[in-house]
Amino acid sequence: MTSIPRDKNFDSTLAILLDPYNFISKRCHQYGTDLFQTRLLLRPTICMTGPEMAELFYQQELFTRKKAAPGRIKKTLFGQGGVQGLDGEAHRHRKEMFMSLMNPERIKHLKTLVADEWHAHTIKWAQMDKIVLYDEVQKILTRAVCKWVGISLPESEVNQRTAQLKGMFEYAGSVGPRHWWSRFCRKRSEQWIEDVVKQVRAGHQTSPEDSLINIIATWRDLDNELLSPNIAAVELLNILRPVVAISVFITLSAHALHRFPSWHQKLQDDDESLEFFIQEVRRFYPFFPAVMARVRKDFEWNNYKFSRGKRVLLDIYGTNRDSRTWNMPEEFQPERFKGWDGSPFNFIPHGGGDYHSNHRCPGEWITIELMKVSCRFLLTNIDYSVPDQDMKIDKRKLPALPKSRFVMSNVKLRG
């Protein structure tokens, strides 16, 4: 039996907080391996990187998500009782609910709503000296996704609800006051959506039978019981929050358009090139650094022993930049996706494996389509200037963004 290499630090919590995106891949390179052991928050943890490790990680008979995420993440990002923490038949059944919402007609409707919001916001921006794109796109997405699921959002609440949805993902991994703010945002958001669910169930809010809010409010789990109002709220927020979080990828897309202007003409003329560009933004830029699971049972793999209950982190950012898969991974080259083999394990910005049976996020399709809508709008529907600002991507923050969050000036609709 070969021992898994061990990190020299007694505990690596501070190290991963200081370098969340490169922590795993740097040490794997240092130790000449795809996996190593360390301690995080004093708990033994195996860290893994690369497509082979991703394929192992998504074998559900070997790994479980149950009790894997730290409590602070459950209480901010995911919520408690949601699909991310389920396994086996309970996970597959709950996942069916989400997969039923992701058909092409629904996604097309959301794209239309987002495009309409882009147009409406641009009219407002034309009256302003400058705007911060990241902040504005969050309002666009909040308005659009609430309409999409069937939630009536008064204009007076847009800023409040946007801030709460943002707080759940932007400060989820923080400590101190920012973490407490994220927990506050989670609590208030769940209260808001619980009330909406109760209104729907009581018949006080009429929604079409096939509306997303009605489907989730009336969904029954394996025991044929309605989800509790709180769990239904958690799952509705598992739609609202990730859609608003696409603001990160849209801001990074604007950053890429500014940094690599030679792609402008190609993207205007060719839908396939736009697809490649979007995928390369998702591969090249940081978003989620890693995903977490626990070893379900004792097993051996390649002469390494995995012990039941041990926490495991799979490196997303490093796997998407693995030189064994991607030639010159540190270069921005959308053309590389012409030859991509479509593997569910070597390109995993939204997790790996199968959408239906694994924990790969079905919202990946929505992310790609809304990034396309937004890039097309930036390329063909508006004119704008990019004033001097700090464009450096701050990879010590989660999520990583340009330090300026992408400031635009002189924004106006074309024509």
Helices within 33-78 (DSSP H only): 51-57, 71-73
Instruction: Average the pLDDT over 341-364 and give the result.
Output: 82
244 φ/ψ angles, rounded to the nearest 5 degrees: -65, -30
Stated as kind and residue range, the H or E segment containing 16 is helix 13-18
pLDDT tens by residue, 359-387: 677 789 999 999 999 999 999 999 999 99
Question: What is the rounded CA–CA span in Å between residue 46 and residue 81?
Answer: 25
Predicted local distance difference test score (pLDDT) of residue 356: 60
Strand-pairing partners, residue 35, are: 48
Question: What is the rounded CA–CA span in Å between residue 407 and residue 135?
Answer: 10
Predicted local distance difference test score (pLDDT) of residue 187: 92
Tell me if 405 sits within 8 A of 133, measured CB to CB. yes
Q: In the 8-state DSSP scheme, what is residue 297?
A: S
Domains of the chain: residue spans and CATH: 13-413 (1.10.630.10)
Contacts of 187 by beta carbon, 8 Å cutoff, 6+ apart: none
Question: What is the rounded CA–CA span in Å between residue 103 and residue 331?
Answer: 34
pTM of the model: 0.93
Question: What is the rounded CA–CA span in Å between residue 359 and residue 143?
Answer: 27
Predicted local distance difference test score (pLDDT) of residue 355: 65
Is residue 71 scored above 70 in pLDDT? Answer: no
Contacts of 413 by beta carbon, 8 Å cutoff, 6+ apart: 119, 122, 123, 126, 381, 382
Instruction: Average the pLDDT over 346-366 and give the result.
Output: 80
Q: Could you tell me which of 90, 68, 67, 79 has the C-alpha nearest to residue 357?
A: 90
Strand-pairing partners, residue 45, are: 38, 311
